[in-house]
């Protein structure tokens, strides 16, 4: 686990939090805020949640490009989930 992630999550019971997060994702897999949380949680903790990758849904940017300086939108979101898309997870990063 990365040091900065450990600092953020060390006071949280990871097992209980993961159980709630997995239940929420399964109940509403296309919710944009849950997808952002899912992405950030797996990226920061380097833990993969037991939830299948999405096979449908629109691209969801992590940050609003109207409010923040961001890079260009990936041209092939579904084919390359590691390019910043929140449509699928970063499994092979």
Residue numbers of the domain that contains 14 = 3-83
Structural contact between residues 39 and 84, judged by C-beta atoms closer than 8 angstroms: no
- What's the half-sphere exposure (Cβ side, CA atoms, 13 Å) at 70? 14
Look at residue 54 and tell me if it is in a domain.
Answer: yes
In a domain, 91, yes or no: no
pTM of the model: 0.65
User: How many folded domains does the chain comprise?
Assistant: 1
pLDDT digits (tens, 9 = 90+) for 19-35: 999 999 999 999 989 99
Rounded to whole angstroms, the maximal C-alpha distance in the chain is: 38
* pLDDT tens per residue across all 93 residues of the chain: 555 555 555 677 888 999 999 999 999 999 989 999 998 898 888 889 999 888 888 878 888 888 888 777 666 554 434 334 444 343 433
């Amino acid at each position: 686990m990365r040091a900065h992630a450990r600092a953020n999550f060390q006071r949280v019971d990871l097992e209980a939090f993961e159980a709630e997060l997995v239940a929420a994702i399964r109940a509403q897999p296309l919710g944009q805020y849950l997808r952002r949380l899912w992405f950030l949680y797996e990226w920061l903790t380097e833990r993969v949640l037991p939830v299948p990758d999405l096979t449908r849904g629109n691209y969801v940017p992590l940050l609003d490009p109207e409010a923040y300086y961001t890079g260009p939108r990936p041209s092939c979101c579904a084919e390359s989930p590691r390019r910043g898309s929140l449509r699928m997870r970063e499994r092979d990063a």
